Structure formats: structure tokens, C-alpha cells
Amino acid sequence: MTSEELFREDATLLQCTATVLAVDEAGVVLDRTVFYPLSGGQAGDTGTLTTAGGAVLAIADTRKHKAHPGAIAHVPAAGADLSAFTPGTTVHAQVNAARRLAHRRFHTATHLLCALVPHPVDGCSITETYARLDFHTAEPLDKETLTAGIARLVAGAHPVSHRWISEAELDANPQLVRSMSVQPPRGLGRIRVLDIAGVDLQPCGGTHVGNTAEVGAVIVTKIEKKSAMTRRVVLGFAEPPPAPPRDQASSHGTGSAGP
């Protein structure tokens, strides 16, 4: 039981049709999916699965299936009704677009950070609201310098692309592996590498933007000394979060009448 990973080739693809292969305690397994499972520090996608009959299943998270390597489990929201999602059912899978875009922008931004900081990475987390990268070093890092460095690489509009290389090719170029905690998966015969033209090249299975310009206004919000040999860099979006919907804002009633 395996799931075709459509997100590996096209991170902009947000929907697909698929067939339910299994439903178990891990979640709903499809034959193909646009949902990215938690891995490489990047959080899993959320979204919906909808049957032709109109039954909608909210997906709260996506994970690699522990019992079935190669299968992806779509984790239903708590209390969800799974009765319409039996094996063989055709579904429309739809990823939460705003969350995916945040993951893509932050993930590429963490690779820009790797290009700016010449130390090994020993931890990484990419979420919808922030990203953090732990560098194995005793040297202090400067918030303003790194924010300016990211802005320069974003303004440089460097193309971002992926390709697949053989394990032999990776073995011949061990410097490609930047992360101490996450080694690229072996045994599949090929390894995905993420290339930011002229800036950074490393094994990565994550979803990225197509050009560093799309990273937009990402800044270093915090640098923490987690241990004697760990400096944590936290990234955030510089722009304010979107304003609440108009009806919600006005329902609080400020008492002011008219303009």
C-alpha cells in the first residue's frame, strides 16, 4: 500500500482526485495525494476530502503511515464521521492553500538561512506562523545581519527547483548534506535535492516557492542560545496577519455611528 506523492513534483498543486485505499487508526490512505506529511521539520498539510456524494471530511494533519512505509495517512479532525470514506471511494482532496503557502515561503527561507550561516543544522521546524532552525555552533549570530541577508537573497529573485540524484552521486558529494539530525532517506534509489540557483543546494523533500522573490517579507524575529553549542534562529512574516472579516469586526459594536 503506497501513496503517489504529487507534492514532490509540484508544490503549487492544491487538489487532486484520488481513491481511498484504506481507513485505519492512522487515518485515511489514498492512492495519490497532494497532502504533504510531517517530515524534514515541515508540518503536515490540513484540508478536506470530499466524496462525489458531497460528504466532507476535515483533515487536521498529515503523517507518514508508520505501519506502511510509502503510504500517507490523512488524519481526520477529532470526532469526524468516516462512514462515507470506505476503501474504493473516489474523493476530491483539497489542501488548505494559506497554510501550504506559508510552509513554502518559510521552507525556502530556511534554506536561505543555511546559505548565510556556515554551520551544521541540528534541528528544524517549519509551521504556518513561524520557522526555526538550530545551528550547531558556539558563535553568536546577529538578528539584523541575517534579516538583511535574507532580504538580499529574496530581492535577488533566484530560481528554485528540485531534481533527483542517485545515492552514489550523493555519496560522492557528502558536503550536500547540511543537516546533522535529518539524513536523506536511503534505499529508494534516488534522493531529491533542492537547488536555489547559485545560493544553496541540499537534499530536501519539502514544498518550496518557485523563486526566492516569492519568499517575500520574512525576518529573523529571535535568536536564542539553546545550549553551549546550539543557536536557534526563529523566522516570522514581517507583514501583519490578515484583518478579521468585516462582519466579525463590526459585531463588536464600537458605538460610533457612521463615518
Q: Which is nearer to Zn ion, 9 or 31 (CB)?
A: 9
Total of residues contacting Zn ion (CB under 5 A): 2
| Residues 214 and 161 sit within 8 Å (Cβ to Cβ) | no
Chain position whose Cβ is nearest to Zn ion: 204
Of the candidates 164, 159, 178, 36, which has an alpha carbon nearest to the alpha carbon of residue 113? 178
Q: How far is the CB of 105 from Zn ion (least distance, A)?
A: 13
| Residues 230 and 180 sit within 8 Å (Cβ to Cβ) | no
| Residues 47 and 96 sit within 8 Å (Cβ to Cβ) | yes
Contact code string over 129-168 relative to Zn ion, x by CB under 5 A: ----------------------------------------
Contact code string over 196-215 relative to Zn ion, x by CB under 5 A: --------x-x---------
Provide the β-strand partners of residue 123.
134
Q: Which is nearer to Zn ion, 76 or 206 (CB)?
A: 206
Q: How far is the CB of 94 from Zn ion (least distance, A)?
A: 24
> Around Cβ 158, how many Cβ atoms within 10 Å?
20
Q: Which is nearer to Zn ion, 23 or 235 (CB)?
A: 235
Q: Which is nearer to Zn ion, 37 or 206 (CB)?
A: 206
Q: How far is the CB of 133 from Zn ion (least distance, A)?
A: 10
| Residues 145 and 204 sit within 8 Å (Cβ to Cβ) | no
Give the C-alpha separation, 131 to 121, whole Å.
Answer: 13
Residues found near Zn ion in the complex (CB under 5 A): 204, 206
